[in-house]
Structure 1
């Protein structure tokens, strides 16, 4: 006898509550229940064999509608009942509840998981359901044009597509039924999708010392095809930094996170989201970014599967196809490979992906921000003087003052002009001249806006 697994269950005696296991097997890949064998594979046999061979099938049929194959077998010379449950194309309930066999456990399906299961059993995807009360007037012409511009530019649609009507474009994408745009069409191209699907917006929050310390927040709304552009604009202007450096005479201001990789992570989060679930949520901390979307991985997929060559199994295939045609994602499961290569090229720690709380979390580390900010000690403020030299002030040379500035900046890259003036006991204009000299000598550079930003010592 094999150990219990996804398709096998052992029970010492029959109890009517095992009808839940019947439902679970029928709703999954089918399986076998052996009556008369303990969990530890000890064979105990069954009493009243003939009566049970008659009663058990009748109970299964009457309570679940499943027609089992019931066999009498001998194991170690003892009578055992084998109940074979085939997978069913229709959802099977027991007393109004639906169960599903996953691994070696039985799970009761509820909420979004039940909704998704029922749609799948009926051969439907949520994105394919016509959106009641919506007409073509609710579809944004600009969003359609935006999509066509990108899809034609990527060579994934013909230029002739520009001549197609709005209805023809949606029809070719499988996003309209009997003249009614589907849920997927409204999310991708709708004028006001959040009026119907409140949780289709994207939440961003900036946190301080802990999750209770919310410093700033934004909620990005609008259609999904253009949403990532809006997210990137907000992140660039309010939440992430663009350190300045020079390559020769050319000024460079790259985003602290590899931009194409960050876009790919956001696109994947949007496309693979359980669309009738809760919001996509991006939490930004000093040292990392956490992006979570509801929706577990495809069956038999793990995080390790994503990191290796794999077949793409999008939750919302038609919506994923639109993002692919626009050039936003890859169709062959190469997105994660591209993300990792981008971080490797930038010499940054790779993001990590985990499955938690009914969804997938991407953790992106902010190494550049932490480097620019420096290891500022707790409770240290810009107004606290940094003691770097005990030589009498009146005897210091300008070179020595510049050396003190370099030491101070190493200790606190965010140190202000006022703090340097207090430290050196010279005017702010004198401090500025020392800073200008250090920049000219190639020993110091300023990162960020003129009023603010930080300093970096060039070793």
Structure 2
């Protein structure tokens, strides 16, 4: 997708060169190597192309908006070729002849340039936040396409989900304006017509089928390759969420956990995480593209997918921290004001919390592509001891910060955690990770081990005792100083010698701590040093073998 070879033996035409650049720019950007055959063999630049100084200006003059590329001459295999670095277009770019092209991969994995169709251009512009499709009036739609019953469902949803109660005081026209459900026509008539947001939220199903053909969702239940439930619908979104809730409930059994005086429900899939995941898929999907939002319960996981990849700037490495800028801002804002989704914009946090608080794995977005966002919520058995731990830590009504919950889950899973490891998990800097671990330590939920450099953390002895895992705690927290010494001497006695790396592994110490322990045993006459620097090892001193 990112590298294109173009032969220049017969002098590639300026038209073909500019179109190849536009093709890359309208995908992910990349490099165009001029003077290289399709098989990667460098054959060099045409004699008329040897002077590359004007190539940058040529591309800028023949693209709209002007595209700035960088051109570098490179000698490969004894011949001169040109490396043209093409940036990814922020929106869309065309040749000055009005040609829009984009790069894609064919079924066999090889790339090709194809025409960029109008709906693909609109989709790309939306993904960069340059246009809000959900705020646009839908061609052919009238106010008669809005369903009074769905409008009443909207008002009931505001009350049910604790939305913005100001909305309940508005008449229909004022409500349409407040949520962007309708807008004034630009023909000067002053007439109002439904926007995409209006049709999606309170539109009649017949109007949605006709005017928004890209809107569709499916609920499927697959068990050992057998299809137990498989239905596709085109309901407006609030009705869709209610329908999905109703049909998912029979497949979402829960057990009760007694924690002190309270009974805590432990469902197969957390209700809040389910609703947030499904609502996000319906809100943030690309409505320029055909394809259904799929909600699929399969063996081992609930999978929610929607057409349209992550918007520009959002990656799997910053999902937890990046400032949200949705593909459909007006629709997203309306759903927040109604109360359906997290009003702070931290819906991903809610999905993470719904998984981690039950001791289940974190949400898995790894199957996400440029075309689809795919979220997998594992339905493995809950860890009831961990759920008790979280409930106990949250007494008083305040939820644990999401960073703290991620840290506790990682300590449960990995047993021992460093600051840098947690920083990667919470997608923040090490300073924030350290503050999170220190806060857990002050709360008595974690313990620190080792010096400042190389310090690691485990769950505290109190946590292990409550879970009946004192033996596990002893193994994870390490040994006392005396036990460290005895372990090292015993190893040297059995193996004949011991090295610093052995001590690191045996006693769960840092490299510096292991070196200090060996020096201490040497200074006390219990070990003798053999070799220098990287070849250093230690043997038992005479008289220390008993």
Per the normalisation by structure 1, the TM-score is: 0.61
Match of 2:539 in 1: none
* Distance apart, 1:318 and its partner CA: 0.8
* Residues 135-166 of structure 1: per-residue CA shift (max 9 Å, x gap): 2232233433443455578776353x334232
* Distance apart, 1:209 and its partner CA: 2.2
The correspondence of residues 41-120 of structure 1 with structure 2, limited to 5 A, is 47-49=47-49, 91-92=93-94, 97-99=100-102, 108=114, 113-117=120-124
* Distance apart, 1:130 and its partner CA: 1.5
Q: Secondary structure in 2 aligned to 1:329?
A: coil
* Distance apart, 1:321 and its partner CA: 0.7
329-338 vs 150-159, which moves further: 150-159
Q: Secondary structure in 1 aligned to 2:238?
A: helix
Distance verdict in 2 for CA 1:342–1:150, change over 3 Å? same
- Please tell me whether the aligned partners of residues 70 and 81 of structure 1 are also in contact (alpha carbons under 8 angstroms): no
Matched, 1:329 2:334: no
**Which of 129, 134, 150 is matched with 2:136 structurally?**
129
**Which of 212, 216, 219 is matched with 1:204 structurally?**
219
Matched, 1:240 2:252: yes
Q: Aligned equivalents of 2:68 and 2:370: distance in 1?
A: 38
Matched, 1:361 2:361: no
- Please, which runs of 5 or more residues in structure 1 have no aligned partner? 372-459
- Please, which runs of 5 or more residues in structure 2 have no aligned partner? 106-110, 185-191, 385-546
Q: Aligned equivalents of 1:28 and 1:146: distance in 2?
A: 41
Once superposed, what is the RMSD of the aligned Cα atoms?
4.8
Q: Aligned equivalents of 1:343 and 1:129: distance in 2?
A: 36
* Distance apart, 1:336 and its partner CA: 1.8
* Residues 85-142 of structure 1: per-residue CA shift (max 9 Å, x gap): 896876415785522699xx88646566444136679953332331233222322334
Match of 1:273 in 2: 285
* Residues 19-73 of structure 1: per-residue CA shift (max 9 Å, x gap): 33332366479898675699999895651259998899779967x6676789998
Q: Secondary structure in 2 aligned to 1:48?
A: helix
Q: Secondary structure in 2 aligned to 1:355?
A: coil
136-145 vs 165-174, which moves further: 136-145
- Please tell me whether the aligned partners of residues 24 and 101 of structure 1 are also in contact (alpha carbons under 8 angstroms): no
Distance verdict in 2 for CA 1:252–1:113, change over 3 Å? same
Q: Secondary structure in 1 aligned to 2:368?
A: strand
- Please tell me whether the aligned partners of residues 255 and 267 of structure 2 are also in contact (alpha carbons under 8 angstroms): yes
Match of 1:309 in 2: 321
24-33 vs 128-137, which moves further: 24-33
Matched, 1:223 2:236: yes
- Please tell me whether the aligned partners of residues 308 and 373 of structure 2 are also in contact (alpha carbons under 8 angstroms): yes
Q: Aligned equivalents of 2:169 and 2:348: distance in 1?
A: 35
Match of 1:24 in 2: 23
Q: Aligned equivalents of 1:85 and 1:288: distance in 2?
A: 40
Count the aligned residue pairs: 358
Per the normalisation by structure 2, the TM-score is: 0.53
Match of 1:403 in 2: none
Q: Aligned equivalents of 2:53 and 2:115: distance in 1?
A: 30
Q: Secondary structure in 2 aligned to 1:257?
A: coil
Match of 1:175 in 2: 181
* Distance apart, 1:231 and its partner CA: 0.8
* Residues 321-363 of structure 1: per-residue CA shift (max 9 Å, x gap): 1121122323555222222222222222333123148211122
Distance verdict in 2 for CA 1:91–1:165, change over 3 Å? farther
**Which of 289, 295, 300 is matched with 1:287 structurally?**
300
Matched, 1:138 2:157: no
Q: Aligned equivalents of 1:258 and 1:72: distance in 2?
A: 53
Q: Secondary structure in 1 aligned to 2:318?
A: helix
Q: Aligned equivalents of 1:171 and 1:244: distance in 2?
A: 45
Distance verdict in 2 for CA 1:113–1:264, change over 3 Å? same
